[in-house]
C-alpha cells in the first residue's frame, strides 16, 4: 500500500492528467463544432464571386476546380509549411456553391505564415489527417488546381477521425473555358499555377 504521505501528490497528478485529457477532448470537439456553427450563422452558401464585381488591384481571385462536390468551404489558417491549423472566427471565410465544376472566390492575400484550407465539403467537415491548402497572391487571377472527392472512400485517423479522401487533378483548359463563359473580363488575366498542397490538419483556438 502506498504511504499516506504520497497520496496527496498522486491525487494531484491524477487530477491534472484527467484535466489535460478533458481539455484535449474538448478542443477536438470544438474543431468539429465550430465550423458547423460558422456555417449555420453565416446563412446560405453563395454562388462565388459576382461577375459584376469590380476587381481591385489587391484582390486575390482564386479559381478552384472540384469533382464530387456541390459546395465547398474555404477558410484561412496558419501554416508552417507542413502543418495547417484551422483558425476560428468568421473573417474571410467563404461558403461557396460549386458551379459547373468550379468555384471562383475573392480572397485577401495570404502572408508567409498563412494559407487557405478547403475545410468543408457539402456541409461536412473534412476531418482527415491531411487537408488541401493554398496560398493567395494579391492582384492575380489564378487557377490553382482541381480537387476530386471520393465520397465512398473513407480515411481513418487514430481510430476516430474520418473524412472524405481528396486527390489533386489539373484542368487548366476547363478553368479557362469556365472563365470565358462566366467571367469574360477576368479570362484574359487567368494564370494557371498548381499551388495546392496537402498539409497535416491541425487546429488552434484563440
* Grid cell locating 206: 484563440
- DSSP for 47-116 reads -SS-TT----TT-EEEEEEEES-SEEEEEEEEE-SSEEEEE-SSTT-EEEE-BTTEEEEEEPPP-TTEEE
Higher local confidence (pLDDT), 110 or 28: 110
Look-up: residue for cell 494559407? 115
Q: Is the pLDDT of residue 3 over 60?
A: no
Nearest Cα to Cα of residue 68 among 148, 128, 144: 148
| Percent of the chain whose predicted confidence (pLDDT) is above 70 | 61
Residue 91 pLDDT grade (very low, low, confident, very high; cuts 50, 70, 90): low
Helices within 91-195 (DSSP H only): 172-182
In tens, the pLDDT along 47-56 reads 689 888 888 8
Parallel/antiparallel/unpaired status of strands 130-134 and 114-121: antiparallel
Amino acid at each position: 500500500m502506498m504511504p499516506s504521505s504520497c497520496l496527496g501528490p498522486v491525487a494531484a497528478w491524477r487530477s491534472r492528467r484527467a484535466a489535460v485529457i478533458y481539455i484535449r477532448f474538448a478542443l477536438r470537439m470544438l474543431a468539429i463544432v465550430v465550423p458547423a456553427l460558422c456555417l449555420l450563422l453565416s446563412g446560405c452558401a453563395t454562388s462565388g464571386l459576382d461577375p459584376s464585381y469590380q476587381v481591385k488591384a489587391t484582390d486575390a481571385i482564386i479559381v478552384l476546380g472540384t469533382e464530387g462536390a456541390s459546395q465547398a468551404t474555404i477558410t484561412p489558417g496558419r501554416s508552417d509549411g507542413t502543418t495547417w491549423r484551422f483558425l476560428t472566427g468568421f473573417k474571410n471565410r467563404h461558403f461557396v456553391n460549386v458551379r459547373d465544376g468550379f468555384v471562383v472566390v475573392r480572397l485577401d492575400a495570404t502572408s508567409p505564415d498563412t494559407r487557405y484550407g478547403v475545410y468543408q465539403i457539402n456541409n461536412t467537415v473534412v476531418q482527415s489527417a491531411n487537408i488541401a491548402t493554398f496560398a493567395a497572391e494579391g492582384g492575380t487571377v489564378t487557377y490553382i488546381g482541381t480537387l476530386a472527392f471520393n465520397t465512398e472512400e473513407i480515411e481513418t485517423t487514430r481510430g476516430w477521425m474520418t473524412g472524405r479522401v481528396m486527390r489533386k487533378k489539373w484542368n487548366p483548359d476547363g478553368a479557362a473555358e469556365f472563365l470565358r463563359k462566366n467571367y469574360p473580363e477576368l479570362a484574359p488575366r487567368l494564370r494557371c499555377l498548381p499551388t495546392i498542397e496537402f498539409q497535416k490538419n491541425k487546429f488552434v483556438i484563440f
